[in-house]
Structure 1
Amino acid sequence: MVRPLRQFLPKRFRKTEVVVPVVRLSGVIMAGGGGPFRSSISLASAAPLLDKAFAMKDAPAVAISINSPGGSPVQSRLVFQRIRDLAEEKGKHVIVACEDLAASGGYMIACAGDEIIADPSTVVGSIGVVSGGFGFVDLIAKLGVERRVHTAGQNKATLDPFRPERPEDVEHLKALQLDVHKTFIDLVQSRRGAKLADHPDLFTGLFWSGVRGLDLGLVDRLGDLRGVVRERYGPGAKLAVVQGRRGLFGRRAAGAAAGLDAASLASALGGGLLDAVQERALWARYGL
């Protein structure tokens, strides 16, 4: 096989195409992953992909595609910080493209971008903190079940779902939420700065379309990632999706499932049912 002559030229004389790596982050943000059948975002899952993308020396930028209703504030901030650390270390411009949803922790991660793109119908924002759960006090009473809790420390059973809710427990939770909310607000303000509009509901947890998000300064422009990259780096610029390690059948989910016996698989499905319902509820809050 005859090699093209350009391979023998010094690199500075070659006409090479611009390739921008894309890291896709999709799903609820949670530590430990979402199980073998659900996608999720965490530092553990995102870090190898980010490292691989930022290691592409010739790439002028790294693109992050985000589609998430949020989740763990800690994992959200850890992923955000890893993106910013790598961007500064490698000197890369970061372009974030918001897909269907970049809300709550998903928007926190989006703020790692030097430039945030959204579709006109993308849902963005929801800069707030929420805690949800269930109360089973009346249910166990009807079933004739007696709840027995023994603690060392009078507040160790705070917000136990099988016991009546105490006002002081709720007050403590709300104080914690205010701390987390302030961290979120400070992060958004530090990244978006003067771009943010002076709007009374900006940090109340409300969310908006991409069109309104642009007016409010939550995003920088409307469009799609491919179009923006070609506009910035030329019509020949290409996107390259960064892939993670694949399982036995070429898909991580299938590979994980292949390692489960029947009993383990049933346990995983049953144990994850409530998580799946809560996960679905997160997406449903935004009409998705």
Structure 2
Amino acid sequence: MIRNGRTPTILLVAMILIILILCYNNWGLSQRNISLRESLIAKDEKLNDMMEKKAFDEKQFGINSDRIKYFEQRIEADKQIAQQKDSDIDDLNSKLKAKSTENDKLTLELNDAKEALNLCKLEKNKEIELIKNNEQTRYQEELNKLMSQKSTNCSSMLEKFKDDLHKLVESQFSEADSQKILALINSDNAKLAEDAGQKLAENKVNREIALPVVDIDVCKLPKFEGNCTNSVERYYYDPLSERCLIFAYSGCNGNANNFETLELCQNKCKTKTTKIIEPQTPLAANRDYLVRPKINQA
């Protein structure tokens, strides 16, 4: 109950306690609010950091995505280049096989051409040897005939000269002197006739007679370097390629298909056929032996 308008002490104490409790609660809430605000600020800062990091990561992801696309394009381009190179390698291998086959074919053709050339050379050499043998046989026959004629002519000239000499001696000397002179002449003439016959026989054996000119196609003669040790630049005509080619001439014992300059070879083998003169020896067999008897006057 209230006395004289005063609040009871218990009620006042209760109100003070309530106020204290409320103040304490308010203070506690304030501290908690401050703590929550600080925590919220920290979380907000952390969120901002996370957003910045997210933006940076997104930027890096974009950059990495671009780089990945670039590398993918490079890889694709490299794959295409590799495929193109593989295709080129296959083409080159096929071309190489074709070239190898062609080279084998050309090698076979070259070997066949070499064999044909060797056969041609052998045939030409046989033909040349046959021509030489035929010409030598013909020249030997002509030589034998000529030597026989020369021997007959020499004998007939000697007999005629003896007859003329006998007549001259018989007309100029007495019978006794003429017989002595004729005996001496006959003995000397017999010796001279024997010497002349021996000389003709030697000429016949040695064939010391000039051989005539033979028509031979020098442009068809085979290349012959000779058998000496020198090396001289010369040209010869090749009938297979129909061109004048260079070769090394040894310096001796060649054939007529041998030219000092390319122009000479080309000019000579335009008409192809020319003349070859065989080696000549002195015309010993064509000499006429004049038998001159010696007259010894007593």
Q: If the length of structure 2 is used for normalisation, what is the TM-score? A: 0.17
Asked which structure has the greater CA Rg, the reply is 2
**Structure ranking higher in strand proportion:** 1
TM-score (norm 1): 0.18
Bigger share in helix: 2
